[in-house]
Structure 1
Amino acid sequence: MRRVTLFVNGTSKNGKVVAVYGTLSDLLTLASNKLGLRACNLYNGKGGLIDDIALIRDDDVLYVSEGDAFIDPHSEGKMSDDISGSHTDWLTLNIGGRLFTTTRSTLVSKEPDSMLAHMFREKDVWGNKQDERGAFLIDRSPEYFEPILNYLRHGQIIINDGINLLGVLEEARFFGIEQLAEQLEVAIKNSHPPEDHSPLSRKEFVRFLLATPTKSELRCQGLNFSGADLSRLDLRYINFKMANLSRCNLTYANLCCSNLERADLSGANLDGANLQGVKMLCSNAEGASLKGCNFEDPSGLKANLEGANLKGVDMEGSQMTGINLRVATLKNAKLKNCNLRGATLAGTDLENCDLSGCDLQEANLRGSNVKGAIFEEMLTPLHMSQSVR
């Protein structure tokens, strides 16, 4: 078994004695753990690069670097004495427990107005604290500092996979490296894919339906289905709140108990659809076709279209017993031959609405606007108490 003593490149203090096993890569990993750095290279005492573990002998003294060139440890004292006079002096930073070796000119030259430049332009201006190895202590994240140091070295942004750009940006702002911060902001903006607002197709939605367990609530709030063909699909209990369903083909679709609150159904075709117990509060169905739809639930669950915009809709022949159309707008709508028995139409705008042939028995029309409405061929006579305006 061979034993060697490891020192951080450029120092001869706080060495670690370790046993040599396995490959050179294994020894570098061990050195990283023992010395708290990312070991990349091993040098002997004369600066020779060790590239094969077979070259290491028992009781060798080796110097570990993070990729930088060999620094003679015997020049350490001289460097400390001359540190204020030369802008090419080597120094070591302890960033969050990890050591980085660089030159003073690297920290000062590229971004002269940065915090790092002010910290290391002159000796002890900021009273920088050092650890027992002489490394300057800075309490920041080492993984985010590494790309910053490389930027100061060569002016390029090189960030390894898995490093969060937002973290590097925050460090750049902290150290006052403005040019890097601006470039990172652009890179972050460009890394976000543009939002896709294109409508979902029938094929995509059917695949979505098939992949969803039958007992799971299907949430489609705010999705864009504009112009999609969703005819004859089973869409029961689906939450379409605030979805864009304009110009959709929903003919003969089963929308029983679905939530269409504030959804856009303008120009959509829902002919023959099952709308038992549907919630369409404040939805926009202007110009839609709902001929022959069934809103009547035998169990007594009533469809709710309160406040809906139904201007110009065609609902001819629809079954709407007990439906709630309170304060809805049905101006110029066609409701010929509809069953509106027991419907709530209080405060509803029925101006110029065609209600001929409708059954309005027990319907509540109090406060509704029936100006120009057509009530011909009514199945049951309209009682005076049902309409007050």
Structure 2
Amino acid sequence: MRQHRVCVCVCVSPVTLCVCSCRDDDVLYISEEESCDDLQDDLRDPEKAQTHTDWLTLNVDWLTLNVGGRCFTTTRSTLVSKEPESMLAHMFREKDVWGNKRDPQGAYLIDRSPDYFEPILNYLRHGQLIINEGINPLGVLEEARFFGIEQLAEQLETLVKSSQPPDDHSPLTRKEFVRFLLATTTKSELRCQGLNFTGADLSRLDLRYINFKMANLRGANLTHANLSGANLERADLSMASLDGANLQGVKMLCTNAEGASLRSCNFEDPAGVKANLEGANLKGVDMEGSQMTGINLRVATLKNAKLKNCNLRGATLAGTDLENCDLSGCDLQEANLRGSNVKGAIFEEMLTPLHMSQSVR
């Protein structure tokens, strides 16, 4: 069954605009100084209808773009009018000024993603940003930037930012971490690398062998926690409290523990595994009364640290900065201090005297 043609005329002198629509075809006809009735009479005549079609073809400059293997048909004005300073506008403002390459069917070749180009073309057509489901807005944004469509790029930047989840850098609480610990077996390797525990209360918890590498533990409460065999390499322990903590065999290479309190800690592992604090920043730490037999503090910084009454037998302190350290009452028997900086260090009431073989300078 054929559908009736619907005709709507809008007269704007001296031009009469007549839109005639069918279900299977929409055609826009523009007639100068011609009434809608005259146009309808012409359309009933096959020869005159063909004349109108030819006139439209001549006055609307249609282009076909082959974008990444998919063809898009549009008008030159669509590519030029909306964003006149864009790359597309410069490419197609005048015919073949840029010498654009064409495929065998005459379509202009553009080596870009068709999926990301389609929303851009629709935006140039009607001015609205519409992205179909499954299309990444970030990809469309990159295309908009490539083609220099600045207004669209601004909209897409806002869309991309709003679609991304907010960065959650809030520290983990004791309750959250304990729940995590209880959900895992003691044999599981717990990886807390890079997590934020700033100011968290982790006191008296069993944290053996947990990987805290590069974690943020600034100001955390780790008093009497069991950190035996834990990996704290490059972690931030500045201003943290580890008083009475078990640090047997702990790995603290290049850890930042400036201003931390490590009073009465146990670094001595009966199994012979030595705690490794090589290169750690221990400026101003309080390690009074700690057991550190065989500890590796090579090239660590202990400037202004309090090491009173510490057991440092057999410790490696080669190249360590001990400037202004208080080492009163320490046991440094067989400790290696070669190349260490002991300027202003206090060595009062030593349990065993230092020997020249230990190369103190």
TM bin (shorter chain): 0.7 to 0.9
Q: State whether structure 2 residue 135 is matched by structure 1 residue 163.
A: yes
Q: Give the whole-Å Cα distance in 2 for the aligned partners of 1:82 and 1:135.
A: 22
Offset, 1:205? 2.8
Q: 1:106 to 1:307 in 2, by over 3 A?
A: closer
Alignment of 1:333-344 (within 5 A): 333-344=305-316
1:86 matches 2:28? no
Aligned twin of 1:319: 291
Q: Deviations over 1:53-78 (max 9, x none)?
A: xxxxxxxxx9868xxx4689x99976
Is the partner of 1:180 in helix, strand or coil?
helix
1:240 to 212, 218, 222: 212
Q: Give the equivalent residue in structure 2 for 1:220.
A: 192
Q: CA deviation at 1:268?
A: 0.9
Q: How far, CA to CA, are the matches of 1:241 and 1:127 in structure 2? A: 55
1:284–1:135 Cα change, 3 Å: closer
Q: Residues 286 and 312 of structure 1 are in contact (CA less than 8 Å); yes or no, is this contact kept in structure 2?
A: yes
What amino acid is aligned across from residue 285 of structure 1 in structure 2? A
Instruction: Map 1:192-341; keep pairs closer than 5 Å.
Output: 192-211=164-183, 216-341=188-313
Partner SS state of residue 205, structure 1: helix
Alpha-carbon distance in 2 for matches of 1:128, 1:353? 76
Match of 1:360 in 2: 332
Partner Cα separation in structure 2 for residue 372 and residue 130 of structure 1: 81
1:185 equivalent in structure 2 = 157
1:311-358 CA distance string (max 9 Å, x none): 222212211110011222223322233221111122323333333333
Give percent identity, aligned residues only.
80
Within 1, Cα distance between the matches of 2:321 and 2:107?
Answer: 80
Distance of aligned partners of 1:209 and 1:294 in 2 relative to their CA distance in 1, 3 Å threshold: same
2:40 alignment counterpart: none
Paired residues for 1:56-75 under 5 Å = 69=26
The unaligned stretches of length 5 or more in structure 2 are 7-21, 30-45
Write the letter of the residue equivalent to 2:59: S
CA contact (8 A) 2:100 2:109 kept: no
Letter in 2 for 1:239: N
Aligned counterparts of 1:309 and 1:229: Cα–Cα separation in 2: 23
List per-residue Cα deviations over 1:182-205 (Å, max 9, x = no partner). Answer: 432343345444533332222233
Compute the displacement of 1:291 (Å). 1.4
Cα shift at 1:121: 5.8
SS in 1 for 2:59: coil
Residue of structure 2 in register with 1:40 after alignment:
none
Q: Which runs of 5+ in 1 are unaligned?
A: 1-42, 49-61
1:206 is paired with a residue of what secondary structure? Answer: helix
> Root-mean-square deviation (CA), in Å?
3.9
- Quote the offset at 1:252 in angstroms: 1.3
Q: Is the 8 A contact 1:131 1:137 kept in 2?
A: no
TM-score, with length taken from structure 2: 0.74
Task: Determine the C-alpha separation between the residues in 1 that align with 2:50 and 2:72.
Answer: 19
Aligned equivalent of 2:353: 381
| Structure 1 residues 374 and 116: CA distance shift in structure 2, 3 A | closer
SS of 2:138's equivalent in the other structure is helix
The answer as to 2:317 corresponding to 1:345 is yes
Per-residue Cα deviation, 1:90-132 (whole angstroms, up to 9, x for no partner): 7776766666665554344323344555666677776786888
Is the 1:47–1:71 Cα contact (8 Å) retained in structure 2?
Answer: no
Displacement of 1:176 in angstroms is: 4.2
Q: Distance in 1 between matches of 2:180 and 2:49?
A: 66
Q: Which moved more, 1:194-203 or 1:113-122?
A: 113-122
1:45 to partner: Cα distance: 6.9
